[in-house]
Amino acid sequence: MVLLIVAPAVKPCEPPAGVARLYSALNRHGIACTVLDACIEGILQLARNPVRGSDRWTTRARRNLDRNLDSLRSRAGYRNFDAYKRAVADINRLLAMSVADPSIHLSLANYQADGLSPVKSADLVRAFEQPEGNPFFPVFSARLTDIIEKERPFLAGFSLNYLSQALCTFAMAGFISRRFPGIKIVLGGGLVTSWMRSPSWRSPFGGLIDLLVDGPGEYALLSLAGIEASNPDPPLPDYTPFPMKDYLAPGPVVPYSASTGCYWNRCSFCPERAEGNPYVPVPTPKALEDLHTLAVRTRPALVHLLDNAVSPALLNAICTHPFGTPWYGFARITRQFTDPDFCASLKRSGCVMLKLGIESGDQEVIDRENKGIDLDIASAALKTLKRFGIATYVYLLFGTPSEDLESARKTLRFTTSHSQWIDYLNLAIFNLPLNSPDAIGLETSLLYEGDLSLYTGFRHPKGWDRAHVRHFLDREFRRHPAVAPILRRDPPFFTSNHAPFFAMNSPS
């Protein structure tokens, strides 16, 4: 028996696709498997037990908890944005108040502990050695003991995808290792893969973790179970072991990856490219079949396509053979999106929102960073998508080596002149990936003090450093009267995960 574990803290609105795929692969080969989503379980339990706060806000939040949870699990909860924000803020308040130690900061989207950094291996080792210090300890120690004593797994596999999960993952692994020393501990997932793809990687976790897995984990787990797998197709994710009704969404949200890597793979700021991740698509007919099967089996309220960029071939296939469920995902801006017929069929296929990386409003920056988009096409695409009722979540990136204040102001002008066609905005400050080919020629230094950091600081060639970028964003960009309302409608904590539900409720 294999136990697959998702540790806190990730946004508790959908199950993780990676674990669903592992579960499916193990089942297909006759390996019994149990899944523990310790994130959603932990968050719901901690929210019920605030140990601090007798103020009016916490008292109200406690009184309204069930009503607020119900509202985030119903379509009606996404009709009134102010009521939604109040519900989210109240649940988040209870989580913050559930932690006795004021040096620990827990929210609906993050977990941080002062003095413990998820990018320092020594701190992760400390979390492993002192699991009692983790606020989720009472919840996960009881659940793990119960499951392990009943099911007797020989292996516990953790899916570690985000920095916000790292400290809790190591705390849970440390608990298992101490209490049930015979169980093999395996760590995989996106973050572990990124660590291991660094050319200077040498595991600092020898003696603690039995196996770290680079890339998809199914073959590693099957081989530990004594099975040499031969089926090259990625398994269809199976969401049956997840507590689908518990997630904070108005119905099941089903994530699906039709590819890993990116078919464009040329943007110079991209961590995928810096890590050298190859583009591996699921063949389009198989991806389409998977989506149809998932739609029938899980009756989702929403499908979340996880691809870094959904390929034009898959978009076309979904348009001609829709799977009958609302969906959203990331796409690269191409001429396709300026075609009214295409956008109309995209809308009919169930597309409610597209996440689009425009990154800059300065064509020269876009070209120098190899983004490969044309701002005139982006402009026409935003207008056409809006015309057909498809919401847009636009991603902008500031502080790349080719940007300066003047180009950032061009981005501001592009945004303001398109504000009526942009539904949501994500503003990010550039991080230089370690080992990026673009680091050559830049004066680099350590940005984060951590041996597991994936990024490095650098001296900006035009003096447009992070402090200047932050100042510009805070004083000019965010305050602009055409930008501020877009930023204000971003769903707090859940951002693009909940935005499609508002898009589905808005008249098109």
Site residues, ligand SF4 (CB under 6 A) = 262, 264-267, 270, 272-273, 308-309, 332, 357
CB of 277 to ligand SF4, least distance (A): 9
Strands 33-37 and 2-6: parallel
CB of 11 to ligand SF4, least distance (A): 20
189: Cβ contacts below 8 Å, ≥ 6 apart: 18, 158, 159, 160, 161, 217
Considering beta carbons, is residue 306 or 405 the nearer one to ligand SF4?
A: 306
Considering beta carbons, is residue 130 or 426 the nearer one to ligand SF4?
A: 426
The encoded tokens of residue 227 equal 């099975």
CB of 360 to ligand SF4, least distance (A): 12
CB of 307 to ligand SF4, least distance (A): 9
Burial-class residue 102 by CB neighbours within 10 Å (0-12, 13-18, 19+): exposed
Strands 33-37 and 104-106: unpaired
Q: Is the Cβ–Cβ distance between 362 and 403 less than 8 Å?
A: yes
Considering beta carbons, is residue 332 or 410 the nearer one to ligand SF4?
A: 332
In 10 A of CB 278, how many CB atoms?
10
Going by C-alpha positions, the residue among 227, 242, 223, 263 that lies closest to residue 21 is 242
Residues 188, 19: Cα–Cα separation, whole Å: 10
Considering beta carbons, is residue 333 or 483 the nearer one to ligand SF4?
A: 333
CB of 330 to ligand SF4, least distance (A): 7
CB of 257 to ligand SF4, least distance (A): 13
Report H helices in 136-215.
137-151, 163-179, 190-196
CB of 423 to ligand SF4, least distance (A): 20
Considering beta carbons, is residue 119 or 262 the nearer one to ligand SF4?
A: 262
For residue 420, give Cα distances in angstroms to 169, 333, 375, 483. Answer: 42, 18, 16, 10
Residues 496, 498: Cα–Cα separation, whole Å: 6
Considering beta carbons, is residue 312 or 492 the nearer one to ligand SF4?
A: 312
CB of 271 to ligand SF4, least distance (A): 8
Considering beta carbons, is residue 183 or 309 the nearer one to ligand SF4?
A: 309
Considering beta carbons, is residue 17 or 270 the nearer one to ligand SF4?
A: 270
Residues 311, 336: Cα–Cα separation, whole Å: 11
Residues 390, 421: Cα–Cα separation, whole Å: 10
**3-state SS assignment for residue 445:** strand
